[in-house]
Amino acid sequence: MLDASGARVLLVDPYLAQEDPMERKFLELYPSLGVLTLAAFLRERGAQVRVSDLTFARSLAPVRDALRGLRPHLVGVHTKSLTLPRALAVAQLGRAAGILTVAGGPDAVSRPEVYLEGGFDAVATGEGELTLTELSGHALRNESVREVSGIITSSDGKLHRTPGRPFLKEIDTLPMPAWDLIDMEGYLRRWERRTGERRSAVLTSRGCPFDCSWCSKPAFGRSFRQQSPERVLDELGALVRTYRVDYVRFCDDVFGIHRRWLEGLLDGLDERGLRFRFECLARVDLLKPDLLGRLKHAGLERVYLGVESGSQRMLDVMNRGTRLTQVEQVATSLREAKVRQFWFLMLGYPSETLEDIEETLRLFRRFSPEEYSVSIAVPVPGTRFYDAVKDRLRSHRASGRRGGVSLLYEAAYPQAMYRWEQARFRWEAALQQLRGRLDEAVLAQLRLAVDQFHARVATPLLLGMPTPTRSRHRIPRPRLPKLPARWSALRPRLPAHWPVR
């Protein structure tokens, strides 16, 4: 067994929530399970580990303090594309102190050259537990790390990649995340203030066997390994007992792929009397509608669904492997089981037309999920999508701060068009909120007004067409229910010169 006894290791999660407008708005804060598992693994192998989690920090001061206090042999930095500048700043601190500084995690693996040029000594590829343990031993003994498996280094501007490591076969033996090394209470209090619940994240598996062409899976590729229900129940029990967690987010790429596993977990929750509410991410082709009743009873509150598009053609282009009929079945079953559904939708994927977007909006209208997010497709380095558009990138910080909000490559339509389409989904969601409070006929009129504005004004304008009458994106005028008399004043009045079919 690899050993890191005597090594002092500082792990840094360079995320600064204060600077992330999305986080400030939606407050989706969970500690990085990758960092906490690495920390626990190293500790089990004899290293002295400290975690500098910058989530609630306002500067790099905690890293400076830890460098002075711990005098680590190795600094390991977790990376996501959002945190690139901060990660590079930490690398500079490590380098200035003469400490071996290693980057790992999704972004560094996708573009190692950026991290190596930016001051890191090495980038760890794939699963980090064994690599980091070996690197720590080398750092302690002041040995060269150049031939350690699973890393990339550079010399004379050339990258040197050592052979990768096989994935851990047995993930049941992984230690529980080192929650004690971070401000767990800070995370939980924040959630409690916002939702009244003490929320935490749990991972029951590693990897995903599917192959959606925009998805970045730099750490685990298409491998899939699942912890046993017993191991997961132990971790859940510890969170409930030690931290009084009462809401769990299962962070697996796809939760509950196998029916027997899911049944085992549900049985175990009953047997151990574990009570909490939970949410998870599922695929429409794998969610088991017949288990929804049991899941709801066990505490299932919300399911995140990667619906992505209402156009089957686009789902096929994305290599999603799902059918619209499955979306329809699952959306209906969730509604019947009274489980909230959160749909992820994506606009702006290559080859998508305005008609595809219209189909997505129609699907959204039909099923009106309780929650949703409509993002603009983000080309993440290392994906087939990124490779397809890399010559058309508008920003080198693809998937950076404005990821999902701004258009990051030259797509079929101008950015303003996608922004407007996003606004149409918001409008639709707002109308659905008004259901029950406003008459259906009024809602239909309001919907029609926006659809007409879209077809006759917004689309031609945003696509740079000279006059509204030349719009190619006409929409059929639906048959509307008659307005009750008291609402007739609200009937949208279009300017007299507008073309009316």
Give the footprint of ligand B12 on this chain (CB under 6 A).
15, 22, 28, 30-34, 37-38, 76-78, 80-82, 102, 104-107, 110, 124, 127-129, 131-132, 203, 215-216, 219, 251, 253, 380, 399, 403-404
> Contact, 300 vs 338, CB < 8 A?
no
C-alpha dist (Å) from residue 492 to 111, 281, 435: 52, 40, 19
Question: Which residues fall within 8 angstroms of residue 387, CB to CB, at 6 or more apart?
Answer: none
Q: Which does 379 bind (CB under 5 to 8 A by kind): ligand B12, ligand SF4, none?
A: none
Between CA 314 and CA 95 the distance in angstroms is 46
The distance of closest approach from Cβ of residue 219 to ligand B12 in the complex, given in angstroms and rounded to an integer, is: 3
Tokens representing 378 are 């983000």
Q: Which of 300, 297, 299, 274 is nearest to 287 (CA)?
A: 300
Per rule CB under 6 A, is residue 215 in the interface with ligand SF4? yes
> Contact, 494 vs 482, CB < 8 A?
no
Q: Which does 77 bind (CB under 5 to 8 A by kind): ligand SF4, ligand B12, none?
A: ligand B12
> Contact, 372 vs 340, CB < 8 A?
no
The distance of closest approach from Cβ of residue 135 to ligand SF4 in the complex, given in angstroms and rounded to an integer, is: 28
Which of 57, 124, 152, 212 forms a contact with ligand SF4 (CB under 6 A)?
212
> Contact, 396 vs 402, CB < 8 A?
no
The distance of closest approach from Cβ of residue 267 to ligand SF4 in the complex, given in angstroms and rounded to an integer, is: 26
Between CA 204 and CA 421 the distance in angstroms is 36
Amino acid type, 298: A
The distance of closest approach from Cβ of residue 11 to ligand B12 in the complex, given in angstroms and rounded to an integer, is: 7
Smaller CB distance to ligand SF4: residue 122 or 215?
215
Which of 50, 138, 283, 302 forms a contact with ligand SF4 (CB under 6 A)?
283
Between CA 314 and CA 316 the distance in angstroms is 5
- Written as one string, the DSSP assignment of 427-441 is HHHHHHHTBTTB-HH
Site for ligand SF4 in 252-271 (CB under 6 A): 253-254
- Written as one string, the DSSP assignment of 358-378 is HHHHHHHHHH--SEEEEEE--
> Contact, 135 vs 123, CB < 8 A?
no
Query: Which region, judged by CB under 6 A, interacts with ligand SF4, from 169-177, 211-219, 342-350, 426-434?
Result: 211-219
Smaller CB distance to ligand SF4: residue 39 or 314?
314
| Residue-level length of the chain | 501
The distance of closest approach from Cβ of residue 306 to ligand SF4 in the complex, given in angstroms and rounded to an integer, is: 6
Q: Which does 283 bind (CB under 5 to 8 A by kind): ligand SF4, ligand B12, none?
A: ligand SF4
Work out the angle between the directed axes of helices 229-243 and 259-272 (0-180°, nearest 10).
40
Smaller CB distance to ligand B12: residue 254 or 417?
254
Q: Which does 302 bind (CB under 5 to 8 A by kind): ligand SF4, ligand B12, none?
A: none
Strands (E), 137-204: 151-155, 158-161, 199-202
Per rule CB under 6 A, is residue 60 in the interface with ligand SF4? no
Amino acid type, 192: E
Q: Decide: helix, strand or coil at residue 347.
A: strand
Site for ligand SF4 in 11-30 (CB under 6 A): none
Smaller CB distance to ligand SF4: residue 349 or 413?
349
Between CA 76 and CA 35 the distance in angstroms is 9
Give the interface size with ligand SF4 as a residue count (CB under 6 A): 9
The distance of closest approach from Cβ of residue 401 to ligand B12 in the complex, given in angstroms and rounded to an integer, is: 8
Q: Which does 403 bind (CB under 5 to 8 A by kind): ligand B12, ligand SF4, none?
A: ligand B12
Per rule CB under 6 A, is residue 210 in the interface with ligand SF4? yes
Cα first-last separation, the chain: 76
Between CA 376 and CA 348 the distance in angstroms is 6
Q: Which does 32 bind (CB under 5 to 8 A by kind): ligand B12, ligand SF4, none?
A: ligand B12
Q: Which does 30 bind (CB under 5 to 8 A by kind): ligand B12, ligand SF4, none?
A: ligand B12
Query: Which region, judged by CB under 6 A, interacts with ligand SF4, from 21-29, 208-216, 326-334, 374-382?
Result: 208-216
Per rule CB under 6 A, is residue 287 in the interface with ligand SF4? no
Smaller CB distance to ligand SF4: residue 253 or 359?
253
Query: Which region, judged by CB under 6 A, interacts with ligand SF4, from 153-161, 193-201, 207-215, 285-293?
Result: 207-215
Q: What sign for the dihedral angle of Cα 38, 40, 46, 48?
A: positive
Between CA 283 and CA 272 the distance in angstroms is 28
Smaller CB distance to ligand SF4: residue 210 or 367?
210
Site of interaction with ligand SF4 (CB under 6 A): 208, 210-212, 215, 253-254, 283, 306
